[in-house]
Structure 1
């Protein structure tokens, strides 16, 4: 009799312990810890084939009020190409470690149907105060292109490109919009140069300001042959989701993996192309331009268009330096594109050894700052990590059920 009383007395205590376990589950399974890039061995992104990358950088243009100012357009093509950068931000290591501002022109005939001189000018890349009615930032980065009557008549344009040409697979996102007059292109793309058109490697997002404002173009270049014939499989045209147009702020994302390129807008996939997927190390480029050709269209004198960017978030693999370990990371990435939630985590070789610390840029609560998903040497997938904790609620409920029968 005394034993039965003691058992019943222990029941509330056991039940309390089990309910405490259940209430603590979110801490065990669903609350990754904010961390720093330097503490991450790999970065995993959601919904891509090659899920793991070794590098990450976040560029925030939203609070750079000390650099804000819109420079007057330079109207002479010679002065435009040799102009200085527009603020000290573009001489800071934050910028110059990764980016450089273009100053080349198309006088050598980059495109066969170009009808106007185009000059990329550092003067067209600047930090601008956000004058929106309900601004979501204090400032943003602007790339400007404008038609000028001359003499001589020319198109002043803007381009930024990565210092490194060693990006080999990446996930890049930008909060951006395109505004302005018809006859221009704004773009985000990877690019590997070749003197032979057929050997060019490029994947790009292009917005044509002469198009309807909800249409975008995604292409794995080249999209035409030396004879001028279109390659239909190279391009996919898409529509902005949820009734948006490209004059509205939206998060544009490219995932370049060994087998495919995928494009997203505000988290929704809008294009997926496995034809002519780039294979080799490339640059990352953003620009705003026009050359008067059939693709861009011909801007009216003094008209202008702008690519405006609040932030850029990039995680990638690189061929710039080889790891000290014996294994070749880049070849493994190419061969093992099934890693991540749908396959085993690749035990990556780095200067510090295998990739024991895995971070996410998608699950973070602080934009641009990764969270640590796990920090150990276990070969677990994200799915296995979830499965590990998923049995606990069922076990706890079953234990409560057994106790209630006693």
Structure 2
């Protein structure tokens, strides 16, 4: 057997590993080793930051709080467990406690209060089934108001790929949503890219919109929204991975890895927050829930990669010390362990090999080659 004897060929031999290892896929790594993250899909892009929250094994925090019947006490309710006060969660998320009195929709008929009491870790009561727990957001119609739930990221993001394993269940008249959001008091200047479930819709229909979805005259803008049928016979009451990619060019939505909608019209352009919520205000869009009725957004895990600036990282093996260059490129799509990235390639490591290639161990390989001839 004769092997090539160039230095570059030797580097490839060392960095590629054995054929068996290559077939097993990219190696698992820690996020601290990742310079950036490359997403798959039609709008593949590099992102600089990664968040992952796993709610599947949090039984020590599980418990379903009774809904608070007083509107005045709803917003000031404490968090439902210590999980929501730990630094990882508390430094990432703002727990909503506002009401819609100051920004009520024109057609809203119900006073709505976001309450920390409606966000909790819930145990799976099907014994022996996985997951053990999940995160629940609840909305319920009380006698004189609607109690609801919202989480928003602490910081603004500039483009994002966000995913969650989730389902929506419960009574008609509620909206569950995952979206990016840049607020404005002027409707035409609102920037928002969202995925919404209306629990009064057929259970296989979801809505994908680059907001605003209506004109200032209240007319529906047909270019803004795609009303999609979930793929493969799925219902929004089924567990599924819902994904939103917001890039400079467009918004793209996936379900279980399949693209279901894409829209380049009114693509958000400014830094925005990522928001999860579940609500109803008795208006035309949500519908009106009956007193005591409730709905739930349940989430097993939540993950996103994002940028905080306009910088679009690009990998290179030739531009050392350039802050815009990403050398260690990871993926959250190719991993077998949800939440743990894999290393696609690391150009910095290759350069280390190049610098060391003539200092002792490459001659050993060369000697080995002559032995195989």
Please indicate the TM-score interval, normalised by the length of the shorter structure. Answer: 0.7 to 0.9
> Which structure would you say has the larger Rg?
1
Map Cα deviations across residues 263-300 of structure 1 (whole Å, 9 max, x no partner). 01111110011100111100000011000000000000
Per the alignment, do residues 350 and 24 of structure 1 end up closer, same or farther by CA in structure 2, a change over 3 Å counting? closer
- Equivalence for 1:114: 108
How well do the aligned residues superpose, as a CA RMSD in angstroms?
Answer: 2.5
Where in structure 2 are there 5+ consecutive unaligned residues?
A: 4-12, 351-373
Matched, 1:305 2:276: no
SS at match of 2:83: helix
Instruction: Report deviation, 1:186.
Output: 0.4
- Equivalence for 1:400: none
CA distance in 1, matches of 2:63, 2:305: 30
Matched, 1:239 2:264: no
- Equivalence for 1:96: 90
- Equivalence for 1:212: 202
Matched, 1:367 2:338: yes
Instruction: Report deviation, 1:108.
Output: 1.8
> Out of 253, 256, 265, which is 1:275 matched to?
265
SS at match of 2:134: strand
Instruction: Report deviation, 1:32.
Output: 1.3
> Out of 284, 288, 309, which is 2:274 matched to?
284
Per the alignment, do residues 50 and 109 of structure 1 end up closer, same or farther by CA in structure 2, a change over 3 Å counting? same
- Equivalence for 1:404: none
Per the alignment, do residues 375 and 110 of structure 1 end up closer, same or farther by CA in structure 2, a change over 3 Å counting? same
Per the alignment, do residues 351 and 132 of structure 1 end up closer, same or farther by CA in structure 2, a change over 3 Å counting? farther
CA distance in 2, matches of 1:131, 1:252: 24
Matched, 1:264 2:254: yes
CA distance in 2, matches of 1:118, 1:294: 15
Instruction: Report deviation, 1:28.
Output: 4.0
SS at match of 2:102: coil
> Out of 32, 35, 41, which is 1:38 matched to?
32
Instruction: Report deviation, 1:130.
Output: 1.2
Instruction: Report deviation, 1:355.
Output: 1.0
Contact preservation (8 Å) 1:347, 1:354: no
Map Cα deviations across residues 74-102 of structure 1 (whole Å, 9 max, x no partner). 00000111101000111101101110110
CA distance in 2, matches of 1:306, 1:368: 24
Matched, 1:157 2:148: yes
Aligned residues: 339
Instruction: Report deviation, 1:253.
Output: 0.4
Instruction: Report deviation, 1:348.
Output: 9.3
Instruction: Report deviation, 1:346.
Output: 11
1:90-239 aligned within 5 A: 90-132=84-126, 135-149=129-143, 153-165=144-156, 167-239=157-229
CA distance in 1, matches of 2:134, 2:38: 27
SS at match of 1:213: coil
SS at match of 2:99: coil
CA distance in 2, matches of 1:372, 1:215: 36
Per the alignment, do residues 233 and 349 of structure 1 end up closer, same or farther by CA in structure 2, a change over 3 Å counting? farther
Per the alignment, do residues 349 and 60 of structure 1 end up closer, same or farther by CA in structure 2, a change over 3 Å counting? farther
SS at match of 1:188: strand
Where in structure 1 are there 5+ consecutive unaligned residues?
A: 1-12, 16-20, 320-329, 380-406
Map Cα deviations across residues 207-229 of structure 1 (whole Å, 9 max, x no partner). 00000000000000001122112
Instruction: Report deviation, 1:38.
Output: 1.1
When normalised by structure 2's length, the TM-score is 0.86
Map Cα deviations across residues 347-378 of structure 1 (whole Å, 9 max, x no partner). 99999663110001111121100011111159
